[in-house]
A and B are shown apart, each in its own frame.
Chain A
């Protein structure tokens, strides 16, 4: 039935090499009007490269892109020209948004569509067109708000509106849910479905099976640069897709029962002063014991950042006490926290986790560079640094050219493994994991989970802050919810279900929910 819909886009034998690496190997792909296609694959499978070729950011070494013109005839798209791609009706929403934060939503959307040297600028037509688009698509956003003030979900809506405003007929989204909460993701896919019903063709890149299965009509699986399978989503099951994507069966990690030991971290009515709900904590109390994982759930922006900053040593509390193994913490400084034996996995790998231009060895030694292990008399011990990096590479199976390679060359999963190696080195008693698997592929997620659970088994206390509810249920012994800078009591995860947790995340009292 779908075959009767006209073809709007065809990629023919697209091949792209980066040096010795074949990022895309003779990939064919066909898109029809009004369909949602998922491009599934692990990090490094070539999904983003393929879409960047489609959009003209990269030049393919071989192959061509054909796009339907106004009469439905397929015309070759001039390669390497985002301008031509835009003109042909291809809109792209990048994983990292391309918005000017200091401008308003309206300005961001119309940017680049207006003549450069016009004396008079009328926004009336643009505004009318956008109001109409918003009404039809359900993508609502305040056109006069400054982008800097908007949340991630809203910024993504602007990106989509930007593409629609330029009359995109084919919308490409690169990992659209990587930055969204589950609720926001559901909203996004409902919107995409509505847009597809109006004739828009949507390609989204993903490595999350859940959303691929629930949101797409058809799924193409990429692995190692090749298209290894293409299925109608209706007839595909998750396990098969996972195996196709990874190339081998995946063992899920299980949380073994374990009695928690003594209290490792105790927060007693701790507050953090902040200028908004994101950066403020209001009288938060929490007990975290040896050998247990406590998960912190919550809709993004409810104070999780403040909590993570507090327990990572980046901010000092304005009230309350914080105790680590019966010792009150008084020095609120990341260095002191590292020295106290707290392993910390930051929320944002790129901005806080690594120094991209420095080598893997230097990044592995980043936190402990001042210790005897990596220096004598102030002089660096390169041998020890390299050795530590080699151990990390071997132990965590980090795929990289070697310990001296700049860490920015690593994929997200491998970078996260390097951070994990650094944070878990020296068997810390307390581990803070803030969104430890965000943006990682299935294989890397399993590896991170396995490591955190192994740390729990040896007696570490783990504080897991995550927006991935499946992850929270899988790893946590107890789950607490952050809502408007407050933290609920941590409830045993065994007695919780998704619906209750969802209601708690919306601010309902757990007792009231249970009743």
Chain B
């Protein structure tokens, strides 16, 4: 007989190793679909690992994919900490990118430091403003933010479509629906030449550290944690639940908006309607894998990015569908959720003595 008993406190070592074990379990479980696809198992894993970690190119690819994931992961982590379920990071990412193009495609020009700051701020504000609406609707009207933020994603993507086929359309694009390019002074510089690693990485890492310090060491961060864990007690103690929620919503949206700025001003150089392969949604998985810890988000983002890059390589190398990446990430999420049970509960086998 197997039973679960609650633990008083989770041992620290277990809490730290559980996600790692969960990730390994997910990779192991991926053997089932790989075999089902008819690929040689060992070869598949080998190609995947080499594709993700086996070369300089692979590593830089992982880093460049992890960059937006860190930011969208942080966006989800900080919001979920306050129990504000922002599913709209995808939309906020796109609106951040639109704002970056609006500011950084030549309407103004100036020294790079100024222009880069301008596109970053514009993107962050756009994302924040987009998230304020659903947050206000939640705190004032009780509207479910899962629904409102999710549906806003589709509205924003249609808006992007309008912009890139209309006001922002690049006249030089030979009819392709894409925006005018980001001018050189506003582009995020490459960190490593001839790779896709750009300064957005620094923005993401600084943001992760900043969110960590903010949540753990500041008064507003304290309020966010209190409001998230028990809004009634936080309110009774004199905290403004509405104000705290609006702050969280704005920060969450801003982080997702920054992800969009990085993609458009650091990587692509112009806006299209396929700028993000779902980084906004993957950010939710990243945040969950990280247990909503801002520093954990960085590690989780690298893990998810490595899985995506490795699976791409596997699909090219031995003809397994690259959708396997989504499967592995999903398995990892399930494993982490299960490991959450293990860390909070003790598993007992058989009957105790007596």
B193 CB–A CB distance under 8 Å? no
Q: How far is the CB of B250 from chain A (nearest CB, A)?
A: 17
Q: What is the 8 Å Cβ interface bit string for chain A, positions 265-300, against chain B (1 contact, 0 not)?
A: 000000000000000000000000000000000000
What total of chain A residues lie within 8 Å of the partner, measured CB to CB? Answer: 44
B239 contacts which chain A residues (CB < 8 A)? 335
- Contact (Cβ within 8 A) A80 B237: no
Q: How far is the CA of A415 from the CA of B232 in the complex (A)?
A: 17
A379 contacts which chain B residues (CB < 8 A)? 217-219
Q: What is the 8 Å Cβ interface bit string for chain B, positions 223-246, against chain A (1 contact, 0 not)?
A: 101100110111111111000000
- Contact (Cβ within 8 A) A355 B353: no
Task: Name A385-427 residues within 8 Å CB distance of B.
Answer: 406, 409
A369 contacts which chain B residues (CB < 8 A)? 219, 222-223
Using A18-B8, A61-B352 as known contacts, say yes or no to A338 and B225 having CB atoms under 8 A apart: no
Contacts A356-B230, A369-B222, A380-B219 supplied; 20 other A-B pairs, CB < 8 Å: A15-B354, A59-B348, A61-B354, A64-B354, A312-B236, A335-B240, A337-B238, A339-B238, A351-B233, A352-B232, A354-B230, A355-B230, A356-B229, A358-B225, A358-B226, A374-B219, A375-B219, A378-B218, A379-B219, A380-B222
B220 CB–A CB distance under 8 Å? yes
A165 CB–B CB distance under 8 Å? no
- Contact (Cβ within 8 A) B352 A378: no
A243 CB–B CB distance under 8 Å? no
B354 contacts which chain A residues (CB < 8 A)? 15, 60-64
A338 contacts which chain B residues (CB < 8 A)? 237-238
Q: How far is the CA of A59 from the CA of B229 in the complex (A)?
A: 30
The residue from B1, B219, B236 contacting A346, defined by CB atoms under 8 A apart: B236
A378 contacts which chain B residues (CB < 8 A)? 218-220
- Contact (Cβ within 8 A) B233 A366: yes
B3 contacts which chain A residues (CB < 8 A)? 59, 80
B229 contacts which chain A residues (CB < 8 A)? 355-358
Interface residues of B (CB under 8 A from A): 1, 3, 5, 8-9, 217-220, 222-223, 225-226, 229-230, 232-240, 348, 351-354
- Contact (Cβ within 8 A) B352 A60: yes
Judged by DSSP, the binding face of B is: mixed
A112 CB–B CB distance under 8 Å? no
Q: How far is the CA of A352 from the CA of B239 in the complex (A)?
A: 12
What's the count of A-B pairs with C-beta under 8 Å? 94
A352 contacts which chain B residues (CB < 8 A)? 232-233, 236
Task: Name A309-363 residues within 8 Å CB distance of B.
Answer: 312-314, 333-339, 344, 346, 351-358, 362
A473 contacts which chain B residues (CB < 8 A)? none
- Contact (Cβ within 8 A) A314 B235: yes
- Contact (Cβ within 8 A) B353 A62: yes
Q: How far is the CB of A465 from chain B (nearest CB, A)?
A: 15
Interface residues of A (CB under 8 A from B): 15, 18-19, 58-64, 79-80, 312-314, 333-339, 344, 346, 351-358, 362, 366-367, 369-370, 374-375, 378-380, 406, 409
A15 contacts which chain B residues (CB < 8 A)? 354
- Contact (Cβ within 8 A) B218 A353: no
- Contact (Cβ within 8 A) A367 B238: yes
Q: How far is the CB of B189 from chain A (nearest CB, A)?
A: 32
- Contact (Cβ within 8 A) A354 B238: no
Least CB separation from B348: chain A residue: A59
- Contact (Cβ within 8 A) A355 B226: yes
Q: How far is the CB of A418 from chain B (nearest CB, A)?
A: 12
A375 contacts which chain B residues (CB < 8 A)? 218-219
- Contact (Cβ within 8 A) A333 B238: yes
Q: How far is the CB of A399 from chain B (nearest CB, A)?
A: 14
- Contact (Cβ within 8 A) A59 B233: no
- Contact (Cβ within 8 A) B351 A59: yes
A314 contacts which chain B residues (CB < 8 A)? 235-236
The residue from B1, B222, B238 contacting A334, defined by CB atoms under 8 A apart: B238
Q: How far is the CA of A353 from the CA of B235 in the complex (A)?
A: 10
Q: List 25 A-B contacts (CB under 8 A).
A: A15-B354, A18-B8, A58-B5, A59-B351, A59-B352, A60-B354, A61-B352, A62-B352, A63-B354, A64-B354, A80-B1, A335-B240, A338-B238, A346-B236, A351-B230, A351-B232, A351-B233, A352-B236, A353-B236, A355-B225, A355-B234, A358-B225, A367-B237, A367-B238, A406-B9
